Amino acid sequence: MGGTEGDRAAADTGMVRVPLDAFLDVRLRLPRLSPRPPLDGTLAGWPDRALLPDLAGLHDQTAFARVWAGWRVDGLAFAFDVRAPHALRTEPERPFHSDGVEIWCDTRDSRAARKPTRFCHHFVVLPGGRGTAGRLPAVLEWNPGGIKKPEDMADLGRIHSAAQVRAGQGYALEVFFPREVLTGYAPLESAAIGLGYRVRSPALGVQDLAFGERFPIWRNPSLWRSARLEGAEAPGTAGGGTGAHAGR
Residues 203, 114 contacting (CB under 8 angstroms)? no
- Side chain identity, residue 52: L
User: 127: how many CB neighbours lie within 10 A of its CB?
Assistant: 28
Rounded Cα distance between 128 and 68, Å, is: 20
Q: Does 4 have pLDDT greater than 60?
A: no
Quick: pLDDT tens for 204-241: 999 999 988 888 888 899 999 999 999 997 544 444 44
Domain ranges, ordered by start, for the chain = 28-229
Q: Does 246 have pLDDT greater than 80?
A: no
- pLDDT number for residue 25: 79
Between residues 102 and 135, which one has the greater pLDDT?
102
Quick: pLDDT tens for 22-59: 777 788 999 999 999 999 999 999 999 999 999 998 99
End-to-end CA distance of the chain: 31
Rounded Cα distance between 170 and 150, Å, is: 34
Q: In this structure, which topology does domain 28-229 adopt according to CATH?
A: Immunoglobulin-like (2.60.40)
Q: Does 2 have pLDDT greater than 70?
A: no
The average confidence (pLDDT) of the chain is: 86
- Side chain identity, residue 67: V
Who contacts 11 (Cβ-Cβ below 8 Å, separation ≥6)?
Answer: 3
Q: Does 16 have pLDDT greater than 70?
A: no
- pLDDT band at 7; cut points 50, 70, 90: very low
Between residues 246 and 230, which one has the greater pLDDT?
230
- pLDDT number for residue 234: 52
- pLDDT band at 76; cut points 50, 70, 90: very high
Q: Does 163 have pLDDT greater than 70?
A: yes
